[in-house]
């Protein structure tokens, strides 16, 4: 019996198909919300905890490891997309490893243990993220923190209820590169908090970075501790 829903497989595949387009989008700062607010918000949230070791789950092409490394933080980045890990390794400091969320969910220690922070920056996109988060408890130091940043549920349209949606990346500017559609699992604020609780975490802090001009909330930034 395969515990992985079909959209989760398609989700993983999209990050292989879109690896080049994604790497270009991140490295040219093509995503306005990241440039204007959310990149700085997650960096600040992590630095405020003064970690020595960080696990970046769904690290993509590795920008976050490059942002943290100058602060003396040893970053391990894992991602299920081999071409993104290849791009991360080529670009800079950090330890990067190809690892699917299913593999991490089966053994949360697979990428190491004793991390001061585990980070998922716009990287929890599946219905079965709960299994992953539960397993990641084993990767954290006892006083470690899970730091999640995700799209603010009100910043996207559509019905306000949990469920699979499809991202076509049209909002990412006029990239000349084609994008494969990405299935992703929409969660409300309430369902994010329930996800954390059910995976064995207590919410320590929640902030909502806003667009500096419009004032619209862009992301949810949650800091959670082990319970």
Q: Using an 8 Å Cβ cutoff, are 25 and 172 in contact?
A: yes
Residue window 115-154: x/- pattern of binding to a copy of itself, with contact defined by CB under 8 A? ---------------------------------------x
Determine if 37 is a binding residue for a copy of itself (CB under 8 A).
no
Residue from 70, 72, 142, 159 in contact with a copy of itself (CB under 8 A): 159
- Residue 100 backbone dihedrals phi, psi, to 5 degrees: -80, 160
The DSSP bridge partners found for residue 151 are 219
Residue from 86, 194, 200, 225 in contact with a copy of itself (CB under 8 A): 194
In the complex, what is the shortest distance from the CB of residue 113 to a copy of itself, in angstroms, rounded to a whole number?
28
User: Mapping DSSP to helix (H, G, I), strand (E, B) and coil, where does residue 224 land?
Assistant: strand
Residue from 36, 91, 206, 226 in contact with a copy of itself (CB under 8 A): 206
Q: Are strands 115-121 and 95-98 parallel, antiparallel or unpaired?
A: unpaired
Residues in contact with a copy of itself, counted by CB under 8 A, come to a total of 21
141-169 burial by CB neighbour count: b if 16+ within 10 A, else e?
beebbbbbbbbbbeeeeeeeebebeebeb
Determine if 113 is a binding residue for a copy of itself (CB under 8 A).
no
Determine if 212 is a binding residue for a copy of itself (CB under 8 A).
no
Determine if 32 is a binding residue for a copy of itself (CB under 8 A).
no
Determine if 162 is a binding residue for a copy of itself (CB under 8 A).
no
Please give the DSSP secondary-structure letter assigned to residue 171: G
184-209 burial by CB neighbour count: b if 16+ within 10 A, else e?
bbbbeeebbbebbeebbbeeeeeebb
**142 or 215: whose CB is closer to a copy of itself?**
215
In the complex, what is the shortest distance from the CB of residue 201 to a copy of itself, in angstroms, rounded to a whole number?
12
Determine if 202 is a binding residue for a copy of itself (CB under 8 A).
yes
* d(C-alpha 2, C-alpha 106), whole Å: 13
* d(C-alpha 220, C-alpha 227), whole Å: 21
Determine if 180 is a binding residue for a copy of itself (CB under 8 A).
no
* d(C-alpha 227, C-alpha 217), whole Å: 28
In the complex, what is the shortest distance from the CB of residue 30 to a copy of itself, in angstroms, rounded to a whole number?
24
Determine if 70 is a binding residue for a copy of itself (CB under 8 A).
no
Residue from 72, 142, 212, 215 in contact with a copy of itself (CB under 8 A): 215
């Amino acid at each position: 019996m395969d515990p992985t829903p079909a959209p989760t497989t398609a989700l993983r595949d999209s990050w292989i198909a879109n690896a080049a387009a994604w790497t270009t989008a991140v490295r040219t700062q093509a995503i306005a919300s990241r440039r204007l607010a959310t990149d700085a918000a997650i960096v600040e949230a992590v630095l405020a905890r003064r970690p020595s070791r960080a696990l970046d789950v769904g690290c993509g092409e590795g920008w976050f490891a490059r942002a943290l490394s100058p602060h003396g933080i040893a970053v391990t980045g894992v991602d299920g997309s081999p071409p993104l890990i290849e791009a991360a390794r080529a670009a800079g400091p950090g330890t990067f490893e190809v690892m699917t969320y299913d593999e991490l969910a089966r053994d949360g220690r697979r990428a190491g243990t004793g991390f001061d922070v585990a980070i998922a920056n716009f990287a929890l996109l599946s219905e079965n993220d709960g299994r992953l988060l539960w397993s990641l408890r084993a990767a954290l130091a006892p006083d470690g923190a899970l730091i999640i940043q995700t799209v603010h549920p009100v910043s996207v349209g559509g019905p306000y209820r949990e469920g699979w949606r499809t991202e076509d990346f049209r909002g990412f500017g006029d990239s000349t590169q084609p994008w494969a559609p990405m299935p992703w699992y929409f969660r409300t604020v309430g369902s994010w908090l329930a996800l954390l609780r059910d995976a064995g975490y207590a919410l320590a802090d929640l902030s909502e970075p806003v667009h500096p001009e419009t004032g619209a909330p862009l992301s949810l930034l949650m800091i959670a501790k082990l319970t």
